[in-house]
Copies of this chain bind each other. A is one copy, B any other.
Amino acid sequence: MRTIHSGPVTLHQVAHAAGVSPATASRFMNGTARVSDAKRRSIEDAIERLNYKPNLVAQGLKMGSTRTIGVLTQSLVSGYFNDAMVGIEDAVKAAGYALLIMSGHWHAAEEAERVELLIGRRVDGVVILTGNMSDTQILDFSQRVPIVAFGRKLEGERVFGFFLDNYGAACEAMELLIEQGHRRIAFIRGSDDQEDAHARLAGYRDTLAKHRIEPDPDLIVAGDFQESGGLQAVNQLLTSGARFSAIFAANDLSAYGARLALYRRSIRVPEDVSIIGFDDLHSSMYTTPPLTTVRQPLYDVGSCIGTMMLGMIGHDEVKVALPALSLVVRESVRRLT
């Protein structure tokens, strides 16, 4: 006997085929209660025969949980964010959670709109990867859904936000440069609207001050966290005739651009000028020369976020240790002789 059915098979059909009530079939599916051996077998059999797969949408509606975590990223093509993404996914997938990813493109209004969409789709929680929304906005959202945010300090019943010590790491990077004898160090800034950019710049300034090195405003040039910005920055530095023996780029992408600008003028790295970056993107291990930089353990950050999220959803107190930034010394910095 073969029946033509349009859609996927339902639990009712399984129950019917197995000669039991949907309730029993459901109980069997979820192990919610004991089911007699006979019935169990016939249910198993029916499931097998009909190739039944539960409808997660229906379950979601009934249970009030979609087993989905919304992620607001800023760019789907950022190696930076994507590392965190896999950390998150790895942390939550064992619990049956999937990720619904949307990107806000560093635009507060768009970010809010995306979060709204995420909530409309009834995600069980949303993680916000930096961005330009105000803390207040996020706090507001957290009334409606648990939130964990990366890149800002936030604390509350259904919200937790944290950031890594960019300032401290920037100081470390500067210490390395200075310890290697560099005094005239250029700094390529990040996007003005990003917290991290400021922290890194502050680290640059304060470390210079700490060592009583006279800061030269001409050595601080605009950038945008992109390769193109780094390229322009160094071009500007070079045409302005500024002297420097090292460059601290606010992130690796900028460092790539800077490196190319130097290459164009046949300035060697690190023989003529040293470069240090920030982020430790995967490809920074393969630039020529391999880039000395500050490692952001984004995968670990993602894991933390994932476990925190699961904790908030399950109303558990979870304590996770935040990963730390660290310097990774490769070959783009050389001692000044």
Contacts and interface: CB of A to CB of B under 8 A. Distances in A.
Interface in A260-299: 260, 263, 282-283, 285-290
A209 interface: no
A121 interface: yes
A101 interface: yes
A116 interface: yes
A257 B282 CA distance: 12
Interface string A81-119: 011011001000000001111110000000000001101
Contact of A283 (B99, B231, B283): B283
Contacts of A86: 76-77, 103
Interface string A284-324: 01111110000000000000000000000000000000000
A287 to B, nearest CB: 7
A300 B156 CA distance: 43
Contacts of A285: 227
A181 interface: no
A125 to B, nearest CB: 14
A41 to B, nearest CB: 24
Most chain B CB neighbours (cut-off 10 Å) among A68, A85, A101, A259: A101
A79 interface: yes
A263 B269 CA distance: 12
A8 interface: yes
A98 B102 contact: yes
Contact of A288 (B120, B144, B288): B288
A19 interface: no
A98 B86 CA distance: 19
Interface stretch (A49-57, A190-198, A237-245): A49-57
Nearest to A58: B61
Contacts of A82: 76-77, 82
A58 B61 CA distance: 6
A3 B265 CA distance: 69
Contact of A122 (B56, B101, B227, B288): B56
Interface in A16-67: 53-58, 60-61, 64, 66
B102 A100 contact: no
A57 B54 contact: no
B66 A76 contact: no
Contacts of A79: 77, 79
A256 interface: yes
A217 interface: no
Nearest to A64: B7
A303 B231 CA distance: 30
Contacts of A286: 227, 231, 256-257, 259-260
5 contacts: A55-B61, A77-B85, A100-B100, A260-B286, A283-B283
